[in-house]
Amino acid sequence: MIHVGLNHFLIVSAILFSFGIFGIVTRKNAVMVLMGIELILNAANINFVAFARYGNLGYNGQVMALFIIILAAAEAAIALAIVLNVYKNFSNVNVDEIDNLKE
């Protein structure tokens, strides 16, 4: 068994990223699509922190990970406000049934 190195973290983040894409593509509920986006952002964050640790590049990668977490928080708040408005107008949040821009 080889020691855990950079590749192990990269593969974990690749699988997490794929699960995120799978969730976004297949789920009907808009809140589930948001959960997929959170998985993808987490995968990107693992990559940033892993390269910061193993690339001897200082702490720039960790600062970027911090920025991504901040943007994810802002994105979740805005997206949920939009989802609530969609629910008010359509009485459901299934992304395949919401196909009217204006009635």
Partner 1 sequence: MSVYDLMFYLFAALTLVSAFFVVTLRNIVHSAFFLLFTFFGVVGLYVLLAADFIAIVQLVVYVGGILILLLFGVMLTNKITNVQIKTGTFQLLPSIIGVGLFLGILVETMINTKWKVSPAEIPTTTAYSIGTLLLQDYVVVFELLGILLLIALIGAASMARR
Side-chain half-sphere CA neighbours of 18 within 13 A = 5
Q: Which is nearer to partner 1, 4 or 100 (CB)?
A: 4
- Could you give the CA distance from residue 45 to residue 33 in angstroms, rounded to a whole number? 19
Residue of 20, 76, 74, 73 whose CA lies nearest to 46 = 20
Binding mask 15-44 for partner 1 (x = CB under 8 A): xxxxxxxxx-xxxxxxxx-xxx-xx--x--
Smaller CB separation from partner 1, 62 or 100 = 62
Coil/strand/helix, residue 29: strand
The verdict on 45 binding partner 1 (CB under 8 A) reads yes
Binding to partner 1 (CB under 8 A): which residues in 65-84?
Answer: 65-67, 69-74, 76-78, 80-84
Is position 98 an interface residue for partner 1 (rule: CB under 8 A)?
no
